[in-house]
Structure 1
Amino acid sequence: MVSMSSPTRFLVVGALAIAVYATLPPGVVSSVLYCVIAVGAVASIPVGIRAHRKVSTHSWWIVASALSFWVVGDIAIAVMENSGGGVPLPSVADAAYVLGYLLIVVALLSVRSSGTPMLSPADGLEAAIMTAGVGLASWVVVSGPRGERVPDAGTWLGIFYTEIDVFLLVLLVFVVLKRRAGSTTHWLLGAATALMVVADYTSYVVVADGPAESTILNVCWLASYVLFGAAALRHDERPRVSTISRAQTGMARLTLLTSAVAMTPVVMSIELMRGTPVTRWGPAVVIAASIIVVLGAVRMTSFLTLLQRQSRALRLAADTDSVTGLANRGRLGRRLHEILGPEGRDGVALVLVDLNRFSDINQTFGYAVGDQVLTEIGRRLVDTVDSSATVGRLGGDEFALVLPGPVDRHDAVAVAIAAQRAVGAPLEVRDMKLTLESSVAVALSTDTPHPRSEELVQRAYAAVVAAKSRQPRLAVYDHTMDIDRIDQLRRMGELEDAITGGELEVFFQPRLDLRTGAVSGMEALLRWRHPREGLLLPAAFLPSAEQTGMLPAVTSFVIDTAMAACRRWRLAGLDIDVAVNLSVRDLVDSSLASRVRTALDDHGLPGHAVVFEVTESSAMTDPERSIATLEALRAQGVSLSIDDFGTGYSSLTYLASLPVQQLKMDRSFVTSLASDSANLAIVRSTIALAHSMGLHIVAEGVEDEHTLDVLRGLGCDAVQGFHIARPVPAGDVVRTVKAVNSAVGAARTAV
């Protein structure tokens, strides 16, 4: 008993049955065996579908239906042949054959891969063009022997069969080319179709000379049936890896198309050289050429339509940022140029949004999360403007909003503020809330007559540099910023030499302990004694140093200088600590803790002699890495302080998770303490909050005696400000501390 689930055994049994058929004389027995073999092939298809769950199941059911119609036609012919009446052309069997061929075409066109049809309408058109070219040769071959007689129904039927065979073969080739490799199933289907083509062509050449039977032709048709059945019984398999490139498959299709189109002049040339009367081949040439021209025109139209669609898609892709889907730099530039026009239209504004320290997100969470953040920021910025504005990403962490206007300074600044607030709203990243800061710049076309788009962009960049060094980080361009920007670029080139050349200095400002009435520590404040510009504050160079990667060297210089000074003070009998400010870059620097450990050892200082101050915002930029760094520092015994407390966005829950021992109230609440009842309430509640959490509380920005008295009455632990002492060089610290202690002691004695 042969297992129908095995394609190999099915092929062997089919071959043996066909061999037996070939030895039988024409008659009822051979006809019955022919039909049995054909029915067995058809029955194998449902077996294969159920056993192996074919991917293109619907296509295989259509093939089964097609072969069933062919079997019906075969049975009809067998009945007619064995009844002695002969087989007319056309006959009832031909109706079944035609339906079967059409169903095979439908089956091939419905083959799907990954849910989409493998053959497109364009493939069908190209196959039809190739078939028309071959059809011309078929006309000559099939109708040629009939001389000059008008082709009869049998001839037309023969041409149809041969043409539909060629069409099927071309479609099957296209399927293989689309996959760029053929599976065994494809080769079996190809062999089945090829045998059918050979048999049909040979049959209708014979039919053109008169009725005849050919056992060889019947063997070919039976072999085609068996190959169809074997293909259905095979497991679906992935195509073998092929070295054929898409360019090569495209060239193969072009060659086939060219050959088909060239068939018309080739046939004309051959027939003219043979002296064949035009009346025999002329109509065929006209029909074939007409079909090729019409189908070629349709294919060319569809091809041009595809090119136009792809061109539009490419233009859109070229103008679109791949991460956010917004306009990219090129599109923004063209839009700005278009709005300004050749005369430099007034009332146009460019708002530039630069995300501060965005690279830390990429380094911490990866670029995939960074892209999600950029996409969300882009969506928020779009929501801040109306539809007339163009929002885009210039690249990296920079966004731009082009406002066509007319807008004035007030309107542009309002948009800039809205954009900054949109960026600053908390972001949900991996179950954590992050807060981004941004530097926002505004450049207006009204600032200069007839500005060009490039000039407006340059002004916006100059303004964003200025915005980075101020609070809030928002700036509107003015001409002095160009000078400032040039100065900053020059300073960056000089900063490295300043570190090694001794131009950087550290000043120190006392922190007064209100409980003891004595100075308890000094805050290290960096200054740059520039050879041309004099003494520069950190805001003039640290933001750019952070961007250029020079900040770690600057931080190391400050830490080393501050610890060396603290060591001298303690040797001089002053039991005070030194506070050093850290930036967000420092907090995500995995080497910071080891560098601090080395510095403590080098200067012989205990950990409690050093305080590191960080802002709320810097600690929140990358919570995981920041907390890890702070805990590593705390493990060395140093104290940690939240600087500028009250100006950030941290929650009490987050604050409680930080390993800090001190809060330092921002000066904005302290300076107006005496005249602002709201600030007084904030300071009172902040002091109470710090004490309830077991934290030391420091108020900075104390500028007068009244503020000092109020803070003392509220229970503040320590104060710092110009009223206590201004920042002084390291060499003046001992004298300054003694003077402050003496003055405070005298004041307390007087009270």
Structure 2
Amino acid sequence: MIAKAVRSKVMARAAVIGLTLGVTALAALAGYSINGNVETTRHVRETGMQSDQWGALTLNVSIEYEMLGDYLRASSDVGRQPLLSAMGSATGNVNWLAENGDETDREEAADVADSYAAYTETLHELVAADGRGDLATVDALAQQANLAASTLRKTTIAQVARKRLDMDQYLLDVDERNNKALVAAGAIVAVDMMLLVLCAFVMIGHQRRIERQAQESRYRAGHDGLTGLANRSLLAEHVERTLKQAARQNAPVGLLLLDLNKFKEVNDTLGHHAGDLLLTEVASRLSSAVRESDIVARLGGDEFAVLLPSVGSAEGCLELARRVLDAVQGPAELDGVRVDISGSIGAAVYPLHSANSAELLQHADIAMYTAKRSRSGTAIYDAETDSHRSEQLGVIGELNRAIAEDELVLHYQPKVATGTGELVGVEALVRWQHPDRGLLPPSEFIPQAEDDEIIVALTDAVLEMALVQHRSWREAGAELPVAVNIAAGGLYDNAFPDRVAAALARHAVPGAMLTLEITETSIISDPAEVQAILDRLRDLGVKLSIDDFGTGYSSMAYLQTMPLTELKIDRRFIRSVHESASDEAIVRAILQLAAALNLKVVAEGVESAAALAVLETMGCSYAQGYHMSRPMPADEVLPWAAGRIRVPVGS
């Protein structure tokens, strides 16, 4: 009966709760004791400081009294000087007690202050009478000062004694409190020990139950909790075992990796519950679409895998991938909301594409990304594509080194006023001075960087270099605004505005001297998040420009709310604006839109005098292109400007 009671859930919970309460009580008592010790230390320190001030006050009054005697006995000014120096020396002690003492200290300090002021005034009158040679008055004032000093010393000595008595009583109270706390701590520890023993019995009683649960835990360790499919770990075991068997039987093995499209949008829009329903539905469709011998697994997130033990050939594997994708794709009802399920599948075959399980998983993953990028739905591993991917990774690795070793250089393309030719700013364009391949244009590395997190470091490096160059031009007398292109990743990085602010402050560059150029497509992906980032940049005084405007019409609806300063018309409409009526109409429409929104307009890609003349006639204020100047190194900008157009000085 007792053993059964010990093993019961009620007893287990009671023991745990009791032990928890006991430990909590012990911790509370420890906290109470620590807090009491802190309070005691503070009180002792404050009382000691107050007592010290009363003692110092007594000492200063005594010194003044002694100096008075020396003054009366002195026959020269040198002998009288100590009294003159000592007068008023206790004022600081009185003031400190009036501000920092307890209530009694402040009351007594107020009385002492009056007495000490009268005493000090008597000394001043005595010195004045001595200066007049009025010896009778000197004697009378000396007696009065002696009486006042004696009274002050008695008062201050009494206060020192009072503080000592207060301290003794306080310490007696603290000692009594500590004794009570010690008794309480002993009782709590005893109870806790009994509860600890009871918990030990309870744990032993539950050992068999834990053993029964171990088997279930092992199952859960190999299966996805949401869908019930095999997880990544169990799939890896199946792949290893299947490949060993295939090697003995010389039978190809296929692996499919499925990644869903727009799963994040479902989660963000409909909630995580809807996302879970979607994953469950996909798992069900996958399980129904494959053969009995195939193994379906969820790798995590919205990624699934299908192991095909006997696939026949690469063509057969790809055909199975298409059939699986057809089965998975299609509409689904999620809590009454209709969504379309779609995805991309990559396939790889052992031993045709891979020599082991790790390569099979890796190559199927590469094929899946190939299918996603090409939007073909399915793709099988291709060594040539993988080689291109490896080259891209090599570029990223070299680019990391290039940033660290300052191999990047900036060229600057002027932006001019169409009517006057006045230089109104420059756009910073990055180049890579490769140690082996020479000066590389951005097309050789920017696309790869934009597919990798290195684009953040690259953007920060370009911004830093542009601000350094702006400051150099300013020190040379040219206040030349500079524009820097910002990748889409910067507009979804909450830390980006802080880094811009730090860079501006580091180089003492006003925000108005910096323009950040962004693309339409980077805005329309998530307008609300981009709006918040742009608002913070605007608050820094930074100007914001839409680059290549006209290529992403769906973003026009956001022009009214985004804190933009400028539109840059895409070069495809500018190149033949003087020859094409349709291009001219588009440019006019953009100019009218910009005027309505109070935005400046820059025409990109101006390559002829005729195009520039038409733009000026149409009212386009600014232009940029090869007709004015190609991008040039920083040291050529001011000489070029001085020989052709005026560089504006000042903001």
The two structures have a TM-score, normalised by structure 2, of 0.49
| TM-score normalised per structure 1 | 0.44
